[in-house]
Structure 1
Amino acid sequence: MLSHKTISIKFILIVLLCMFVSGDAEVRCIESEREALLSFKNGLIDEDGILSSWKSNECCEWHGVGCSTTTSHVTTLKLSGLDNGGVLKGDVHSSLLELHHLNRLDLSHNDFGGIPIPEFIGSMKQLHHLFLKHSNFSGNIPPQLGNLTNLRSLDLSYNSLSSTSHSILGSVFESLEILDLSYNQLIGSIPDLSAFSSLTQLNLSANNFIGSIPLSISQLSELQVLDLSHNSLEGLVSASHFIKLYKLKTLDLSINSLTFDIPLDWSPPFQLESLSLGGCNAGLYFPKWIRTQRNLVSLDLSRANITDEAPWWLWSTFSSLGNLDLSDNQISGAIPNLSSTSIRYMDLRNNQFSGPIPLFSRVASDIFLSGNMLSGSISSICKTSNDKLQTLVLSNNQLSGEVPDCWENMPNLESLDLANNNFSGEIPRSFGNLDHLVVLQIRDNHLSGELPYSLRFCQELYLIDIEGNKLTGEIPTWIGELYNLRYLNFRGNKLHGIIPPQICHLTNIQALDLSINNLSSKIPDCFNNYTLLKTTDPYLSAPTYPNSTTVNKLYGYSSFQWKGKEFECKENLNLLKLIDFSSNRLTGNIPKSISSMRGLKSLNLSRNSLTGYITPDIGKLEMLNSLDLSHNQLSGKIPTSLGEVYSLGVLDLSSNNFCGKIPTSTQLQSFNASAYARNVGLCGDPLPKCLEDSLRPSTTNLGVHMNERDGNNFSFMEEVGISMAFGFIFGFWGIVGSFIVKKSWRIAFFNLLDDAANWLYVKIVVFVSKWR
Structure 2
Amino acid sequence: MKLKILQLLLFLCMKLLVSAEIRCIERERQALLQFSGNLSGLTWGSEEDKGECCNWYGVECTSTGHVFDLDLSYMYLRGKISPALRELQNLEYLTLKDNNLTIDNLNWLSDISSLSYLDLSGVDLRAVTNWLQPIAKLSSLEELFLSGCQLRDPPSAFDVFANSSLSSLSSLDLSHNELTSISTFDSMFNFSGTLIYLNLSGNQLKRLPKFEQVFNLRYLFLSSNSLEGTITEHNLANLTQLRELDLSSNSLEGTITEHHLANLTQLKKLDFSFNNVSFNLSIDWIPTFQLEIIRLSHCNMGPYFPNWIQKQNSLSELSLSFAGISDTLPNWLWNRSFMEYLDLSHNNISGRMPDLTMSIYEILDLSYNNLSGPIPLSVFRHSANLRLSKNLLSGSISNLCTISERLPVQALVLSNNQLDGELPGCWMNMHDLTVLDLANNKLSGKIPPSLSTLRFLSILHLGNNNFTGELGSCLKNCKRLKKLDVGGNKLTGKIPAWIGTHLRGLAVLNLRFNSFHGSIPLTICYLTVVHVLDLSRNNISGKIPRCLNNFTSLAQNDGSPILDRNIWLEGQQIEDDDNALVQWKGQESEYKRLKNMKGIDLSSNKLVGTIPQAFSDLKGLLFINLSRNHLTGNIISNIGQLDTLEWLDLSRNQLSGEIPSGLANLHFLSFLDLAYNNLTGKIPLSTQLQSFNSSTYIGNDKLCGDPLAECPHDPSVTNHGKVNIVEEDDRFINRDFYFCMIFGFIIGFWVVVGTLVLKHSWRHSYFKFWNNIGNWMYVTTKINMTRFKRKILS
Counterpart check, 1:524 vs 2:545: yes
3-state DSSP class of the match of 2:554? helix
Deviation string 1:403-427 (CA, Å, 9 cap, x unpaired) is 2222111111111111111112222
Residue in 1 aligned with 2:273? 254
Distance apart, 1:346 and its partner CA: 1.0
3-state DSSP class of the match of 2:310? helix
Distance apart, 1:695 and its partner CA: 9.6
Counterpart check, 1:601 vs 2:606: no
Give the structure with higher Rg (CA).
1
3-state DSSP class of the match of 2:475? helix
Counterpart check, 1:224 vs 2:224: no
The gaps in structure 2 that reach 5 residues or longer are 1-13, 76-94, 727-794
Residue in 2 aligned with 1:332? 350
Residue in 1 aligned with 2:111? 98
3-state DSSP class of the match of 1:321? strand
Residue in 2 aligned with 1:352? 370
Q: 1:635 to 1:275 in 2, by over 3 A?
A: same
Distance apart, 1:665 and its partner CA: 3.4
2:239–2:264 contact (8 Å) kept in structure 1: yes
Distance apart, 1:345 and its partner CA: 0.7
Q: 1:659 to 1:711 in 2, by over 3 A?
A: closer
Distance apart, 1:377 and its partner CA: 0.8
The gaps in structure 1 that reach 5 residues or longer are 1-18, 700-708, 715-772
Q: Which amino acid aligns with 2:644?
A: M
3-state DSSP class of the match of 2:412? strand
Distance apart, 1:572 and its partner CA: 5.6
Structure 1 stretch 530-539 or stretch 297-306: which is displaced more?
530-539
Match of 2:584 among 549, 554, 562: 562
Structure 1 stretch 481-490 or stretch 555-564: which is displaced more?
555-564
Counterpart check, 1:292 vs 2:311: yes
Match of 1:119 among 96, 108, 133: 133
Q: Which amino acid aligns with 1:524?
A: P
Residue in 2 aligned with 1:307? 326
Distance apart, 1:510 and its partner CA: 1.9
2:645–2:668 contact (8 Å) kept in structure 1: yes
User: TM-score of the superposition, structure 2-length normalised?
Assistant: 0.78
Distance apart, 1:339 and its partner CA: 4.8
Residue in 2 aligned with 1:3? none
Distance apart, 1:329 and its partner CA: 1.1
Structure 1 stretch 456-465 or stretch 379-388: which is displaced more?
379-388
Residue in 2 aligned with 1:187? 206
Deviation string 1:171-228 (CA, Å, 9 cap, x unpaired) is 232222211212211222443x343222221222222222224574333333222222
3-state DSSP class of the match of 1:495? strand
In structure 1, distance between residues paired with 2:261 and 2:564:
44
Counterpart check, 1:147 vs 2:165: yes
Match of 2:634 among 594, 609, 613: 613
3-state DSSP class of the match of 2:338? coil
In structure 1, distance between residues paired with 2:658 and 2:413:
49
- Number of aligned residue pairs: give it: 678
Match of 1:440 among 455, 460, 476: 460
3-state DSSP class of the match of 2:523? helix
Counterpart check, 1:457 vs 2:470: no
Residue in 2 aligned with 1:622? 643
Residue in 2 aligned with 1:641? 662
In structure 2, distance between residues paired with 1:132 and 1:594:
47
In structure 2, distance between residues paired with 1:465 and 1:23:
64
Match of 2:531 among 510, 515, 533: 510
In structure 2, distance between residues paired with 1:270 and 1:301:
19
Match of 1:137 among 145, 151, 158: 151
In structure 2, distance between residues paired with 1:436 and 1:680:
54
Residue in 1 aligned with 2:685? 664
User: TM-score of the superposition, structure 1-length normalised?
Assistant: 0.80
3-state DSSP class of the match of 1:139? coil
Residue in 2 aligned with 1:210? 228
Q: Which amino acid aligns with 1:376?
A: G
1:77–1:105 contact (8 Å) kept in structure 2: no
Residue in 2 aligned with 1:706? none
Q: Which amino acid aligns with 2:205?
A: L
Q: 1:410 to 1:81 in 2, by over 3 A?
A: same
Structure 1 stretch 22-31 or stretch 600-609: which is displaced more?
22-31
3-state DSSP class of the match of 1:272? coil
Distance apart, 1:623 and its partner CA: 2.5
Counterpart check, 1:494 vs 2:512: no
1:77–1:106 contact (8 Å) kept in structure 2: no
Residue in 2 aligned with 1:718? none
Q: 1:115 to 1:126 in 2, by over 3 A?
A: same
In structure 1, distance between residues paired with 2:221 and 2:622:
42
- Which structure 2 residues correspond to residues 366-445 of structure 1 after superposition, within 5 A? 366-386=385-405, 388-445=408-465
In structure 2, distance between residues paired with 1:181 and 1:640:
53
2:190–2:213 contact (8 Å) kept in structure 1: no
Q: 1:479 to 1:36 in 2, by over 3 A?
A: closer
In structure 2, distance between residues paired with 1:424 and 1:361:
21
1:81–1:109 contact (8 Å) kept in structure 2: no
In structure 1, distance between residues paired with 2:199 and 2:485:
43
1:140–1:162 contact (8 Å) kept in structure 2: no
Q: 1:459 to 1:695 in 2, by over 3 A?
A: closer
Q: Which amino acid aligns with 1:565?
A: Q
Q: 1:29 to 1:200 in 2, by over 3 A?
A: farther
In structure 2, distance between residues paired with 1:405 and 1:289:
44
Root-mean-square deviation (Å): 3.4
Match of 2:101 among 88, 91, 116: 88
Distance apart, 1:641 and its partner CA: 2.7
Q: Which amino acid aligns with 1:416?
A: L
Q: Which amino acid aligns with 1:561?
A: Q
Distance apart, 1:247 and its partner CA: 2.2
Deviation string 1:336-358 (CA, Å, 9 cap, x unpaired) is 23254221111111111222123
Q: Which amino acid aligns with 1:371?
A: K
Q: Which amino acid aligns with 1:344?
A: E
Q: 1:147 to 1:645 in 2, by over 3 A?
A: same
Q: Which amino acid aligns with 1:127?
A: L
Match of 1:234 among 231, 236, 253: 253
In structure 2, distance between residues paired with 1:59 and 1:97:
23
2:338–2:360 contact (8 Å) kept in structure 1: yes
Deviation string 1:39-73 (CA, Å, 9 cap, x unpaired) is 9x49x96344388999978776666555555x776
Match of 2:190 among 143, 149, 171: 171
Deviation string 1:484-516 (CA, Å, 9 cap, x unpaired) is 112111111122222222222222222111111
In structure 2, distance between residues paired with 1:339 and 1:456:
37
In structure 1, distance between residues paired with 2:451 and 2:583:
27
Q: 1:521 to 1:713 in 2, by over 3 A?
A: closer
Q: Which amino acid aligns with 1:569?
A: Y
Q: 1:616 to 1:243 in 2, by over 3 A?
A: closer
Distance apart, 1:440 and its partner CA: 0.9
Q: Which amino acid aligns with 2:271?
A: D
2:263–2:288 contact (8 Å) kept in structure 1: yes
Counterpart check, 1:158 vs 2:176: yes
Structure 1 stretch 688-697 or stretch 599-608: which is displaced more?
688-697
Q: Which amino acid aligns with 2:102?
A: K
1:497–1:520 contact (8 Å) kept in structure 2: yes
1:114–1:138 contact (8 Å) kept in structure 2: no
Deviation string 1:308-327 (CA, Å, 9 cap, x unpaired) is 111000011x2232211111
Q: 1:46 to 1:665 in 2, by over 3 A?
A: same
In structure 1, distance between residues paired with 2:352 and 2:325:
16
In structure 2, distance between residues paired with 1:38 and 1:123:
26
Distance apart, 1:685 and its partner CA: 2.2
Identity between Structure 1 and Structure 2 (%): 44
In structure 2, distance between residues paired with 1:548 and 1:200:
25
1:375–1:400 contact (8 Å) kept in structure 2: yes
In structure 1, distance between residues paired with 2:118 and 2:531:
47
Q: Which amino acid aligns with 1:453?
A: S
Structure 1 stretch 50-59 or stretch 170-179: which is displaced more?
50-59
Q: Which amino acid aligns with 1:131?
A: F
